[in-house]
Amino acid sequence: MSYADFHKRSVEQREDFWAEQAQLIEWHKPFEQVCDYSRAPFVRWFPGGETNLCHNAVDRHLKDRADQNALIWVSTEVDQERAYSFRELHAEVQRMAAVLQAQGVKKGDRVLLYMPMIPEAVFAMLACVRLGAIHSVVFGGFASHSLASRIDDAAPVVVVSADAGSRGGKVIPYKPLLDEALRLASHKPAKVLLVDRGLAPMERTEGRDVDYASLREQFIDAEVPVTWVDATHPSYTLYTSGTTGKPKGVQRDTGGYTVALAASLKHIFQGDPGETFLCTSDIGWVVGHSYIVYGPLIGGMATVLYEGLPTVPDAGIWWSLVEKYKATVMFSAPTAIRVLKKHDPALLKKYDLSSLKALFLAGEPLDEPTARWISDGLGCPIIDNYWQTETGWPILSIANGVEKQPSKFGSPGVPTYGYDVKLIDQQTGEELDGPDQKGVVVVQGPLPPGCLQTVWGDDDRFVKTYWQKVPALDGQPERWLYSTFDWGIRDKDGYYFILGRTDDVINVAGHRLGTREIEESICSHAAVAEVAVVGVADQLKGQVAMAFAVLRDASALGDEARLAQIEGEIMKTVDAQLGAVARPARVRFVSVLPKTRSGKLLRRAIQAVCEQRDPGDLTTMEDPAALKQISDLVTVK
């Protein structure tokens, strides 16, 4: 079957298609219905069916691959490496589940995880879903205020944490941050379960704080059966940024998510049982949930949990792991590859990477120069894909497991099966059918399995934030459209190109310009490793584009003549590629760009600094000094 037919069937014969995909997982009780869309835009997938996420990720593999590697932990921070077979993982998850049960955790309860990238974090996630509890992982090291707001929203029975994480050899104590968050939070969890790594001293609150290691010994032989839950039972919540200060908890189901991940391993990532999946994300983000923890394990693969930087002990560390564990599938982010781009390219050739079928990149738009650089270096397919915390798995992709299709540099691909993707005009709401027309990327409901069910505790916010109702017109039934809040275009072959957020548009003297387009043009200059473009208020033109670039050769930062030359060349490049109207007012050079810990550019904060406004909440910022560099540059007259 061609991919076009496969996709068409997935949206036009939805029930039959997803009933087939549901056979990729194990069910305790068959589902009564495939898709209940009677209360649009809310959708219930596989209602009546009973299953368990932990069973599908761990228990069901015991009969065929009990002694195969399941979880491989590598930490260049503490110089440790440990591998767990499916049998050993099964035992550890039951121990953790027994410990959580002893703290009062039961089906439907929330458990908040504030953890570094250690095996116990994975054990805790799997143990929660084993018990039918709902986990909420907060990125380790988040500031106390942000953590407190999530504790109040999730209202967990138990918080699972550790003494500390480590980044670049620097210990980051978690317990003081957690204690302050618990002081600030209105909701007070009954228990705090602590993993002591011996990295930082911890003050313990008597009666509340309990030690995991000692309890684990008590439950060393624990046998905790899975709790079968309805397919629509929530598996976890994960907080994502919103336009207001109140955190937005993306609520995921159980059955639909398990099916979606199993199908994606087969059709998109082409990972086979017994192989190894290396994902360089963090469990605090959606990619870590889907493709460090659940996806690979559901597919019977070994998964690598990596604690450390991509450049320590050198920029070849990831490639050494590919060689050592014969990774067949690797998943990373464009930001990480741009970091590696500044290091010795010989490191790409140092290791045997012949096991690698493909490198998948997502999390932000992949610029063509970076894609070409890593493609030439690795000699394997580089497959972009596009999705969101809300969807849990790719919206746009190349599903080579269905039919081999070419990738196009700069494009995350075509609509993934299950997603009825459209482009609409932001002003009129009309669908754009022709090629190369710029519009908002939307998905016609229902969203496929695995996507968010709602916003935790706030159905109204779910509808108001994401959905637009299109009344019945011209014989068309009433439709609901889910907005991605991203601009995109579609070429004549049906490939999509993401041009940036709808709120990242710059209006220069009446011309609407996407920051993404300008960034792509600037990044094509050989000297540039990375760039951020923002619109800055201008009395004459309304807004002007301002660019901040990181150079591949950092030593050039001290050479004013060289910087002036590069800036002039960049201006000419933008003129030639996009026209003079898109030329930035200035290109300023910095050593690092302000980003969140997950690698997303803080464009709004950059814009605020340029306009001498308060940059807002920066608790998720990776390097506070990065924003000061920009502030110093723009305040110097």
pLDDT at 384 over 80: yes
Task: Using the Cα atoms of residue 622, residue 624, residue 625 and residue 628 in order, give the sign of their dihedral.
Answer: positive
DSSP annotation of 413 reads B
Task: Show the DSSP H helices in 162-269 as ranges.
Answer: 175-184, 212-218, 255-267
pLDDT of residue 509: 66
Mean pLDDT over 68-92 rounds to: 98
Listing DSSP states for 343-401 in one string gives: S-GGGGTSS--TT--EEEE-SS---HHHHHHHHHHH-S-EEE-B--TTTSS-SEE--TT
Going by pLDDT thresholds of 50, 70 and 90, the confidence category of residue 511 is low
User: Does residue 194 contact residue 175 with C-beta atoms inside 8 Å?
Assistant: yes
Q: What angle do CA 157, 622, 636 make, to 5 degrees?
A: 140
The proportion of the chain whose per-residue pLDDT surpasses 70, expressed as a percent, equals 97
**pLDDT one-digit tens code per residue, 314-335:** 999 999 999 999 999 999 998 8
Q: Please give the Cα distance from 216 to 214 (Å, whole number).
A: 5
For 444-453, how does the pLDDT look when each residue is reduced to its tens digit (9 = 90+)? 999 999 999 9
Structure token pair of residue 485: 């809040």
For the record, the structure tokens of 572 come out as 């000419």
Establish whether the linkage from the previous residue to 415 is cis, with ω within 30° of 0. Answer: no
Q: How many CB atoms lie within 10 A of CB 264?
A: 28
**Matching residue, tokens 């899975």:** 226
pLDDT in tens, 408-434: 988 999 999 999 999 999 888 899 999
Model confidence pLDDT, tens digit, residues 279-308: 999 999 999 999 999 999 999 999 999 999
* Residues ≥6 apart with Cβ < 8 Å to 20: none
pLDDT band at 614 (very low <50, low <70, confident <90, very high): confident
Confidence of residue 564 (pLDDT cuts 50, 70, 90): very high
State how far the Cα of 67 lies from the Cα of 27, in Å rounded to an integer.
24
Rg for the chain, CA atoms, rounded: 24
Plot region of 282 (φ>0 → left; ψ -120 to 50 → alpha; else → beta): beta
pLDDT band at 106 (very low <50, low <70, confident <90, very high): very high
Rounded distance, CA 410 to CA 396, Å?
A: 12
User: What type of residue sits at position 192?
Assistant: V
Given a cut of 90, is residue 637 above it in pLDDT? Answer: no
At the top level of CATH, the class of 85-222 is: alpha beta
Of 367, 374, 632, 384, which Cα lies nearest the Cα of 522?
367
**What are the b/e assignments for 55-77, b being 16+ CB within 10 Å?**
bbbbbbbeeebeebbbbbbbbbb
Residues 6+ apart with CB under 8 A from 40: 445, 446, 478, 480
Q: At CA 37, angle to CA 129 and CA 455, rounded to 5?
A: 50
CA distances from 27 to 32, 51, 52 (A): 12, 5, 8
Helix, strand, coil: what percent of the chain each, to 5?
Answer: 35, 25, 40
Q: Chain-wide mean pLDDT for the chain?
A: 93
Report whether the peptide linkage leading into residue 313 is cis, meaning its omega lies within 30 degrees of zero: yes
Residue 468 has pLDDT above 50, yes or no: yes
Q: What does the pLDDT read at residue 243?
A: 45
Query: What's the CA gap between 459 and 442, in Å, rounded?
Result: 20
Is there a contact between 421 and 7 (Cβ–Cβ < 8 Å)? no
Distance (Å, whole) CA 189 – CA 583:
53
Strand order in the sheet with 236-240: 209-211, 191-195, 158-162, 110-115, 134-139, 236-240, 248-252, 454-455
Q: Is the pLDDT of residue 217 over 60?
A: yes
Q: With CA atoms as reference, report the closest residue to 326 among 374, 360, 275, 291.
A: 275
Instruction: Please state the domain extents for the chain.
Output: 85-222, 420-498, 509-635
C-beta of residue 83 within 8 angstroms of C-beta of residue 69: yes
The CATH architecture one would assign to domain 420-498 is Roll (2.30)
Using the predicted structure, report yes or no on whether residue 214 has a pLDDT greater than 70.
yes
- In angstroms, what CA-CA distances link 242 with 30, 71, 331, 337, 512? 37, 33, 26, 27, 24
Cβ neighbours of residue 77 closer than 8 Å, sequence gap 6 or more: 165, 166, 167, 169, 307, 308
Helices (H) and strands (E) in the chain, counts: 20, 33
96 by Cβ neighbours in 10 Å (0-12 / 13-18 / 19+) ranks as buried
CATH topology for 509-635 is: GMP Synthetase; Chain A, domain 3 (3.30.300)
| Stated pTM of the model | 0.88
Q: What is the DSSP letter of 155?
A: -
Q: In which band, very low, low, confident or very high, does the pLDDT at 520 lie, cut at 50, 70 and 90?
A: confident
Strands 110-115 and 479-490: unpaired
pLDDT tens track for 130-159:
999 999 999 887 778 889 999 999 999 999
Q: Go through the chain and tell me how many residues it has.
A: 637
pLDDT at site 241? 65
The model's pLDDT over 271-283, given as tens digits with 9 standing for 90+, comes to: 999 999 999 999 9
